Structures are given as structure tokens and as C-alpha cells.
Amino acid sequence: MFMRAAQPNLDDRVNVVNVGNINLWTSSGSQVIPTHAPSVSYNSSAGPGPETVTLLYAPTDLTNVTQLQFLNDAFEVPGLATANAWQSVPQIVSAPSSAAILRAYHAEQARTHHAKRHKRHKK
């Protein structure tokens, strides 16, 4: 079966990937439930530093997916003292749209600031 990959780039090595704690989302905010759990590929024995995790899904699972959500404990980092210390932080990753969202936010902040300033000078 042909598979499609989602490849999040992590800033640290991991030794466990819990695929049940990774969700797929569309740009409209709908969750996509994969037909099968993805197969996972990563190098758990490499030294410290960035790592790419490859998640292989059926092609239909990723058709409309634009975001990956990493729930708590999606990734486990080796060598930390307690179970709570090595759990990942919940987050949603959407590389293609995050820059556009940030630009739109800054543009809106600039418009709001300008409008308030302009209104204050008119009085």
C-alpha cells in the first residue's frame, strides 16, 4: 500500500512516539480520524539535537490535513528523571499557515493601534 508522510521536525531527540496522542486536523477545524495508526520512523539512538519523525499514513488520511496536534505524552525524551519531565507539551503545528496567521495578527494589531491613536488626536 502506498503511504504518505507527515514529518514533524523536533528540537530534541525522542525515544518513544505515542501515535495515539497525535491528532490530524483540517484547516476548517475538523479532526481527521486515520483509517489505521501510522507507522513511525525515527532515530532513537542518535545523540542530542534536532530530529525528524516520519509518520506514514494512508494517502486518504492526509488528503485535507493541514495541522498536526501533539497531545501530552506524544513524544518521550530520553534521560530525564521522571515520567512528568519527559512528556511533550500539548501543541498544534501548522507550518504552512502559522507564518500567515502571525502576519495577519501583526497587521490587525497595527491597524487597531493606528485607529486608536488617530481617534485620540481627533478629539
pLDDT for res 80: 61
* Spans in the chain with pLDDT lower than 70: 1-2, 78-106, 113-123
pLDDT for res 47: 74
What Å distances lie between residue 44 and 5, 24, 77, 91, CA to CA? Answer: 19, 23, 9, 22
Q: Which helix (H) or strand (E) holds 9?
A: strand 9-10
Tell me the H-state helices in 1-122. Answer: 83-86, 95-122
Q: pTM higher than 0.85, yes or no?
A: no
